[in-house]
Amino acid sequence: MSLYQDHQVLEQLTLGKTTLYHDQYDASLLQAVPRSMNREPLEIFPDNLPFHGADIWTLYELSWLNSRGLPQVAVGHATVMCSRKALSLCALYPTRRIRYQSVAHK
């Protein structure tokens, strides 16, 4: 069984590597980590999981400008179900702008 940190999938990700600091949002930095790299060696497959659950992430640094240009901050929570093929918050990105627009008016 290979070690997690030696998995070839991780070599392709920027996770844990030095990256340039961007002054604009860069969606390419949000990269999914496939759950299969830990599950397949244990013969756990997505079509027949022997468990249920979720990863719950606390988003401590949510910030945006409201409709008047004033900075706003909040703490959020995100749930990633164990049945998802990858551990990632990328799935939240398409709704991000819509949610921020609705929050900005409150």
What is the pairing mode between strands 54-65 and 33-34? unpaired
Higher pLDDT, 3 or 53: 53
CATH of domain 4-104: 3.30.1130.10
* Mean pLDDT of the region 19-36: 81
pLDDT tens-digit readout, 40-95:
889 999 889 999 999 888 989 888 898 899 999 999 888 888 998 887 766 555 44
Tokens representing residue 21 in the block: 């600091």
User: Is the sign of the CA dihedral 81, 86, 87, 91 positive or negative?
Assistant: negative
**How crowded is residue 35: how many other Cβ atoms within 10 Å of its Cβ?**
20
- Going from N- to C-terminal start, the domains of the chain cover 4-104
Q: 77 - beta bridge partners?
A: 58
